[in-house]
Every structure is written in structure tokens, then in C-alpha cells.
Amino acid sequence: MWIALGIVGFLLLVFVIMYNMLVSRKNQVENAFASIDVYLKKRAEQIPSLVSTVKGYMKHEEAILTKITDLRNKAKDSSLGSNDRVDVENQITDSMSKIMIAVEAYPDLKASENFVMLQRSINEIEAQLAASRRAFNASVNDYNNGVETIPMNTVAGMMGYKRKNSFVIPSESRAQFESTPDIVL
């Protein structure tokens, strides 16, 4: 009987340890996404300034400016799921990149002190966002390893934990970023 009780106690201890590891990894993923969210909100706060600064110069780029404003409003929708939110944020990144590229055709705008300061601020936010995405993806990788490896996958299945998606740039946007040099004014 003591042997059976010892085995049950050992299995219970192993279960508790695996449970705690999975909860810890899930919390790390949520914390990392919260960091991304902070920078996404900072970037969203810069969009009205960017649009108002470039609007007077970029008459031919009205469609991009309208799109980025609409996407910003869509990103504020609290009913968006995390995958949809990531998709909208990727579209915002793509649109902002297009605006920064289009600026090259407007020398007066490039010389504007307001635009230069705004561009520096946006570049800093984008760098912080990239670092947060890397931390998030590392947390997701650790979490997914726990959810998918034996024997923790049994505990994860009992808890309803499923694989999480990493924050990745869509392949159509990736090609644009890989071929576009940094803009230095």
C-alpha cells in the first residue's frame, strides 16, 4: 500500500509541476503580448500626426492616408480576436511603410522639421515594437514546446491549452521590407 501511495504522490507532484510550468509559460505569452500592445497603441497615437503632417504635401497619396486612418480605427475595435488584430496591425505596418517610401517624392516634406521629428519618433516606436515581437515570439515558442511535448501535452490537453500563433509579417509584406532600405533624412 505504501508503494502505491508513493507512486500516486509522485504522479501528483509531477502533474502539479507540469501544470505550474504551463501556467507560467501562458502568463509569459500574455505579458509579452501586453508589451506589444503598448507599442501598438503608441504607434496608433502617432498616426493622426503623421496623416495631418503629410496630407498637405501628398495629394496623390490620399488613398494610403485614408486606408491607414481606417485601419487605425479598426485596430481600436475591442471585439477583434488576437489573430484579426495582428492582421490589422500588419496592414498598418505595410501602409506606414508605403507612406515613408512615398515621402521620397516630396522634398519639401522631407525637409519639414515636424516630419523629421515625427519620423524619428515612429522609427523609435517601430524598433521597440520589433524587440517586443521578438520577445513575444520567444515566449510563444516556449509555450508551444510545453503544449506539444510529451508528457506535458497530456496536462495541456486537460487544461484546454492549445498552440498559439507567433507574430509574423505576412509573406507579401515581408518581400517589401526585405527590399526597402531604411530611410534616413
CATH number of the domain within which 121 lies: 1.20.1440.20
> What does each C-alpha distance from 118 to 98, 161, 178, 182 come to in angstroms?
16, 42, 23, 15
pLDDT at 171: 59
Residue 185 included in any domain:
no
Residue 157 maps to a domain:
yes
Q: Lowest-pLDDT range, 9-23, 124-138, 159-173?
A: 159-173
Closest CA to 49 of 71, 73, 65: 65
At residue 174 the predicted structure's pLDDT band, cuts being 50, 70 and 90, is low
Mean pLDDT in the chain? 86
Q: Which domain holds residue 134?
A: 2-179
Condensed to tens digits (0 to 9), the pLDDT of residues 58-87 reads 877 788 888 988 999 998 888 887 778 878
CB of 39 within 8 A of CB of 129? yes
The Cα 12–Cα 34 span in angstroms is 33
How confident is the model at residue 29, as a pLDDT? Answer: 94
Give CA–CA dist 127/62, Å, rounded: 27
For residue 102, is it within any domain?
yes
pLDDT above 90: residue 184: no
Q: With respect to residue 162, please indicate whether it lies within any of the assigned structural domains.
A: yes
pLDDT at 80 (0 to 100): 83
Distance CA 17, CA 145 (A): 16
The pTM for the full model equals: 0.75
Domain-embedded: residue 48: yes
Question: Residue 116 falls within a domain, yes or no?
Answer: yes
Mean pLDDT value across residues 152-169:
89
CB within 8 A of 154, min separation 6: which ones? none
pLDDT digits (tens, 9 = 90+) for 25-70: 999 999 999 999 999 999 999 999 888 888 878 877 788 888 988 9
Take residue 110 and report the three cell numbers written for it.
Answer: 522631407
Q: What is the pLDDT of residue 3?
A: 94
Is residue 184 domain-resident? Answer: no
pLDDT at 185: 46
pLDDT in tens, 87-136: 888 888 888 888 888 888 888 887 888 888 888 999 999 999 999 999 99
> How many distinct structural domains can be found in the chain?
1
Region 132-158: mean pLDDT is 94
The answer to whether position 173 is within a domain reads yes
